[in-house]
Amino acid sequence: MSFSFGFSEEGEINAPKVDTNAVKAFMDSQMDISPDFMPKKYSFRMMLERVMGKRLTYQPLQISADTQLLRRELYDVKHQLMGEDNLSATDELLLGTTNEDLKVATYEGGLKAWECMLDLTKVLEGCQWTQGSAIELGCGQGLPAIYLIQRLLKSGNPGKVTLADYNDSVLGLVTAPNVLLNLCNLLTVEELSALQTTNEDAAEGQTRVQEGELDVTSALVDRIEQLLQEKGVEVEFVAGAWSPEFVRLVGLYSLVLASETIYSLDTLPVFTNTLLNITEDGGDVLVAAKKVYFGVGGGIHEFETLLSERGWKLDVVADIDDAGVARGVWTVKQ
């Protein structure tokens, strides 16, 4: 199913078709991946284990006049980490003890709500995708994929949405909780309240949930999973590095999403090869990014060059320039 956004051909970034040898050769390459970042699949419940029994604090994020999504508060994530022992290197970065937004091969910034993630979600409002399979690469907070899950549920069509990130900590502490928060609208107010912590089973000193809070109970997760199954909507999570192993694990998708994933020259080739190898014939790709990532080296020009070498091109969907940050959303086509 192709996207049609009403943009003219004048907005294209043209790239001559060459060949696809580099894309195919990627699948035969050997990559040195740390065991901690070998790609792995997780179910919804497995990804929620770290917050099971926790009380989440969240806030609404207004994407547009018609779309509002919920996301877990950053301070709530840090509060949870402060109470945990044996934190991983990624957890230390999430907690903020290292004063780093990014660390190559350890943490790729998934805790933050970057501007391009919001741009991509807004663009999705204008598409007609309501069936098939979709994946968000480098999903972080996962709001674009969450928007697609909601679209699937409203359409009544079956489908699959995969949320993939380099870090399992990001998926467990941020992404999966955000998915849960936004699926609670499947329940009536009365049913949701009944599935929350009661006075009898609340921890000492814990009060009933307030506005902007959610208790992650086993009963609540069971009910959400039941509703997803009834509606034929599969939600899965993948943690680990982009690689041939990643491609073989996830398979092909009719819609591939990514935002803020082309900033690093070191990872741009492997991202590009992964992206192209998981897109099914006739599938759609949407990539949101800043045009230039100052001080890091990546950007849309470098991405365009790699695509051109592989016989693909970019078409602009949204061109954005506010607060001095030039960015956009592009489709990737053969």
The DSSP string of 157-195 is: --EEEEEEES-HHHIIIIIHHHHHHHHGGGS-HHHHHHT
Report yes or no on whether pTM surpasses 0.75: yes
> What is d(CA 69, CA 60) in angstroms, rounded to the nearest whole number?
6
Neighbours of 232 (CB within 10 A): 13
Are 58 and 212 contacting, i.e. CB atoms less than 8 angstroms apart? yes
Residue for token pair 């043209």? 14
Are 52 and 216 contacting, i.e. CB atoms less than 8 angstroms apart? yes
Instruction: Give pLDDT, residue 35.
Output: 93
What percentage of the chain's residues is helix, strand, coil (to nearest 5)? 35, 25, 35
Instruction: Give pLDDT, residue 20.
Output: 57
pLDDT, mean of each 10-residue run, the chain (334 residues): 44 47 89 94 98 96 94 93 77 60 46 81 93 96 97 96 96 98 96 78 61 95 98 98 98 97 93 97 96 85 95 95 86 94
> What is d(CA 54, CA 61) in angstroms, rounded to the nearest whole number?
22
For the segment 37-51, what is each residue's pLDDT rounded down to a tens digit? 999 999 999 999 999
Which fold, 9-333? Answer: Rossmann fold (3.40.50)
Question: How many helices, marked H, and strands, marked E, lie in the chain?
Answer: 13, 12
For the segment 269-326, what is each residue's pLDDT rounded down to a tens digit? 999 999 999 999 999 999 999 999 887 778 999 999 999 999 999 999 999 988 777 9
Instruction: Give pLDDT, residue 87.
Output: 73
